[in-house]
Structure 1
Amino acid sequence: MNAALLTVGDELLDGDTANTNATWLAAELADRGVTTKRVLTVPDETDVIAEATRRYSERFDAVVVTGGLGGTPDDVTMDGVAAAFGCDLVENDLARADIERHLEAITDEYPDLNVDISEEASIPAGARPLINQVGLSPGCVLENVYVLPGIPSEMKGMFEEVADEFDGDVDSRYLYTEEPEASLIDRLNEVRECFGVRVGCYPDREAGHNRLKISDSDGESLAAAEAWLRERVVLSE
């Protein structure tokens, strides 16, 4: 299974907000054996969101879109996803009921909160609503596109509701060495060519070592590649 991540928000492109959602989601997908093939950040523009969603939906098994949900003028992600599939936004009964419950629960804390419930509860026609257990704005699933909030706590909570739908077969092994990266090039090329695995070297200057990562969907090839490297690389603890 492969996936693409589409993060939405001018604040990400302006550098006002760190894109922690993409890093967290990529790690979660990797833990489930899913290969993230693309990570793209787009502005709060309906046509750009629509084009990227449509293109990635056609090319990858799953697309996870985060950010741009809510009632402010720049929250146009649902519009973009709807446009990608040529459908309208319609009020969803389950989403509306959850929003009403949430608003009732916080009415004492925010007595003057003015929310257009119908607009907040609107998702692309035919989409499956994803209830927001932490915040207000619902997400949805439309075909192979998962739309999640941009607020990290809300995004994480909603992803957990659909996490079981992401199931790949890629596994990874990690080795650590203090050998210089440049001296490892020939051996890394050789292990990739011999066993057909993906291999990467990632320096960690604070820890004082290089992290070698080997990945593959074939357990035997992965184990053989790991054993080969263990015999030829000076490993650190």
Structure 2
Amino acid sequence: MQVALVTVGDELLAGDTVNTNASWIAEQLTSRGVAVERVTTVPDRVDDIAGVVREYRDAYDAVLVTGGVGPTHDDVTLDGVAAAVGVDLAASDEALVYLTDHGGYAADDLTEGTTHLPAGARVIHNEVGVAPGCVIDAVYVFPGVPAEMRAMFESVADEFAGDEPHTAVVETPEPESRLLDRLAEVRERHDVAVGSYPGENVRVKFTGTDEAAVADAADWFRERVEPLESTPTAED
């Protein structure tokens, strides 16, 4: 299963808010064996949202959108998603009933931003906030408030699944530039994904759906790089 993530908000692009939603969702999906192929941030503009969602909807199995859902003037994500799938926003009786019966809100206090969804969309109820999310044509829409987004995602998490991923990590004090030959060779020899992450030491991560293949690749690489020095003990 291949998916794309779209995060919406001028505040994300300006750096006023750290985009923790994208990293959290990506981690959740990856742990379920789902391949996250794109992460894109767009401003609070209907045309921008619609264009990206339309493109990714045609290219991937699902699109997850977070941010810009609610009652304020810049909450235009649902307008963009509706435009992307070719429908209008319409009053959702299910969303209204949930908000009044379960949320305790008075109907007169609710705005269109909390009761209108793309026509034909399935409601994702917001158990820790007001504005509902929805699913339409494999486009999943969540609010940007992290607690609300996470609770909503958990309610649909079972809809995202793939082969269980396996990982192994090898660390070495060798600089990354000196590892290029062995990194290239391990990729040629073993059918696994290889990631190299420099820092105080270089971490090389091996990932795949075949646990034995991942272990073999890690073992092959470990035997050909400089090992980390062990920490001396008091007895040493």
TM-score of the superposed pair, with normalisation by structure 2: 0.89
CA distance in 2, matches of 1:46, 1:23: 24
Structure 1 moving runs of 4+ over 6 Å: none
Give CA deviations for 1:90-147 in whole Å, capped at 9, x if unaligned: 1222211222246527x8xxxxxx8434441111111111011111110011121110
Q: Does 1:120 align with 2:117?
A: no
Preserved contact between residue 53 and residue 63 of structure 2 (Cα < 8 Å): yes
Matching residue's letter, 2:188: E
Out of 189, 194, 207, the position equivalent to 2:184 is 189
Are residues 89 and 235 of structure 1, via their aligned partners in 2, closer, same or farther at CA, if it must alter by over 3 Å?
farther
2:201 paired residue number: 209
Matched residues in 2 for 1:185 and 1:98: separation?
A: 57
Letter in 2 for 1:159: F
User: 2:146 aligned to 139, 148, 152, which one?
Assistant: 152
Pairing partner for 1:231 from 223, 226, 236: 223
Give the total of aligned pairs: 228
| Closer/same/farther in 2, CA of residues 13 and 197 from structure 1, 3 Å limit | same
1:235, distance to aligned residue in structure 2 (A): 4.0
Q: Deviations over 1:25-55 (max 9, x none)?
A: 1111111111111110000111110110011
Q: Is 1:38 the counterpart of 2:38 in the alignment? A: yes
Query: Please, which moves more after superposition, 170-179 or 63-72?
Result: 170-179
Is the Cα contact below 8 Å between 1:96 and 1:117 reproduced in 2? no
User: Counterpart of 1:104 in 2: which secondary structure?
Assistant: coil
Q: TM-score, normalised by structure 1?
A: 0.89
CA distance in 2, matches of 1:176, 1:132: 43
RMSD: 2.0
1:175 aligns with 2:170: yes
Residue number in structure 1 paired with 2:64: 64
Query: Unaligned 5+ residue runs, structure 1?
Result: 108-113
Query: What percentage of residue pairs aligned between the two structures are identical?
Result: 51
Q: 1:127, 1:137 → 2: CA distance?
A: 14
Deviation at 1:3, TM superposition (A): 1.1
Look up the match of 1:200.
195
Over 3 Å counting, the alpha-carbon distance change for 1:27 and 1:119 in structure 2 is closer
Q: Please report how far the alpha carbon of residue 217 of structure 1 lies from its aligned counterpart in structure 2 after TM superposition.
A: 3.1
Q: Aligned equivalents of 2:167 and 2:116: distance in 1?
A: 40
Please give the alpha-carbon distance, in whole angstroms, between the structure 2 residues aligned to 1:234 and 1:95. 59
Partner Cα separation in structure 2 for residue 83 and residue 220 of structure 1 = 46
Question: Tell me, which stretches of 5 or more residues in structure 2 are unaligned?
Answer: 231-236
Select 2:155's aligned residue among 151, 161, 182: 161
